[in-house]
Chain A
Amino acid sequence: MNLASRITAALIVGFARAVTAVRGVWEGIAPVQEQRIYFANHNSHGDFVLIWTVLPPDLRLRARPVAGADYWLTSKLKSFIGRDVFNAVLIDRNPETRNVDPMAQMSAALKGGDSLILFPEGTRNTGQSPLLPFKSGLFHLATANPEIDMVPVWIENLNRVMPKGALVPIPLICTVTFGAAMRLEADEDKANFLARAESALVALNPERKN
């Protein structure tokens, strides 16, 4: 990372801490340097930033978010943050226009030894249900990389900090809970795997626990 990216990263992390006092809860897995695929619920553009903030700095450097090129390449600032600061794997979400296969992009990043952070709902969930049905990308990743741990990550409260369409954030305490790692089981089909992944993620929701 060059100096401008480092400074921007520090500013973003500092701002996230000031607004949310975010705390990582390592419930099912320890914060150690291992190659992983983190998958999280998606309510806000800031979701990735919160996960990034609670990761210890050495893990943070190797954890790349998977994000939509249609959002992150629309302005110079966004593309600087997306590419240079977050080192995102930018995928084209539209199957008709894309000329690179997102699975190939993600596999390349994993081959390079990096961890991935992805939001298998595919888009921001702005409704009342806790999760949208997962897209199949997570299953294809698990099939292609059966030896990499997949870690569910529940982000709590960020949708209240920044509801859809809000211009300023409301400071509220957020938590990021990391669950136990899971892998594709032998002869597990797509529907079963995605259902298991969804319930592993929803189980981390603090509201469910009370």
Chain B
Amino acid sequence: MNGHFIILLGLVLTVLLIATGAAQLLKRRAGADNLTIQNLTARINAWWVMVAIMAIAFLAGTAGVVILFAICSFAALREFLTLTNTAAADHWALAAAVFIVLPLQYLSVGMGWYGFYSIFIPVYAFLLMPILSTLHGQSKNFLIRVSEAQWALMIAVFCVSHVPALLSLNIPGYEGKNLFLIFFLIVVVQSSDVLQYVWGKLLGCRKIAPTLSPSKTLEGLVGGVISASLLGAALFWITPFSVLQAFALSLVITLMGFFGGLVMSAIKRDRGVKDWGHLIAGHGGFIDRLDSVIFSAPIFFHIVRFYWDLH
């Protein structure tokens, strides 16, 4: 476990060093005031910080990872609720979402209580939040308000919490190694985002969704998904999967990640914003960075649980 951890950390740091070096070379060639290069540098610098925080959370074990993703959920929920039509009449429902639902979800994930965390938000929060919203007696935009509040919880809390939930899977012969499932998921999905960006910048010409996300191209999608899935296959040795299984799962999660990005882009376009927030320099908000993980984590969790977990 520790040996693997050090090897993986070394690999990630090597990639970051190469990226930083390449960005410096580009900066020298294109000039320091090139906006694309400035954004690239900001993105890479933010990656150093994100990798450092992830590494610390991994070293702290289950509690560290659960707390890290609870904080991510809080930041994502804050971003999502900002763009909704929720009104003062929903105050109690929203307060409950942030200060009761979110902590209970992560508490049950930390306890590994599958029977609770897999239904708490889709069943209990889904039914109880609109009841709280009726207490004010205000019917204006009611369906819009309660739907948006439920969407906010599903996206920012339920889906995100399926990353640390991977720690509670019980896979024979893989005991104590579940952190590597999280590493696998995040590295494959995030490198797919990065590789889609790189392939798109190198070869991209056919726009794939011009009205939703003009920067996404077919060349970027195919190149990114295939190369990230090959990376996933190459990481099979840290997973309970065979090479082929690792490749197939990577294909599923990178495609989910791509379409997740598209869905979240559609929401941003509708609300007239470019980014969900501003806290991660170069990337935007937490949801901008997490959108692909949000859409892939629950699917990855359930496939692994269905085929590999003892239950």
List A residues at the B interface (Cβ < 8 Å).
Answer: 21, 23, 157, 160, 163-164, 166, 168, 170-173, 210
Contact = CB atoms under 8 A, between A and B. Distances in A.
A173 B82 contact: yes
19 contacts: A21-B75, A21-B278, A23-B278, A160-B86, A160-B88, A163-B88, A163-B91, A168-B95, A168-B99, A170-B91, A170-B95, A171-B74, A171-B81, A171-B98, A173-B78, A173-B79, A173-B82, A173-B277, A210-B272
B279 interface: yes
Contacts of B86: 160
A interface, over-half SS: loop
A118 to B, nearest CB: 26
Contacts of B88: 160, 163-164, 166
Interface of B: 74-75, 77-79, 81-82, 86, 88, 91, 94-95, 98-99, 272, 277-279
A21 B99 CA distance: 17
Contacts of B75: 21
Contacts of B277: 21, 173
Contacts of B81: 170-172
A164 B75 CA distance: 24
A21 B74 contact: no
Contacts of A157: 82
A172 B278 contact: no
A170 B272 contact: no
Contacts of B82: 157, 172-173
Closest 8 CB pairs of A and B: A163-B88, A171-B78, A173-B82, A172-B82, A170-B94, A168-B95, A210-B272, A166-B91
A21 B286 CA distance: 12
B60 to A, nearest CB: 21
Contacts of B278: 21, 23
Nearest to A25: B278
A173 B278 CA distance: 10
A108 B98 CA distance: 45
Contacts of A210: 272
A173 B78 CA distance: 6
Contacts of A160: 86, 88
Contacts of A172: 78, 81-82
B98 A170 contact: yes
A173 B98 CA distance: 14
Contacts of A171: 74, 77-78, 81, 98
Contacts of A163: 88, 91
Given A170-B98, A172-B78, A172-B82, 13 more contacts: A21-B75, A21-B78, A21-B278, A160-B86, A164-B88, A166-B88, A166-B91, A168-B95, A170-B81, A171-B78, A171-B98, A173-B78, A210-B272
Question: Which of A164, A173, A210 is packed against the most chain B CB atoms within 10 Å?
Answer: A173
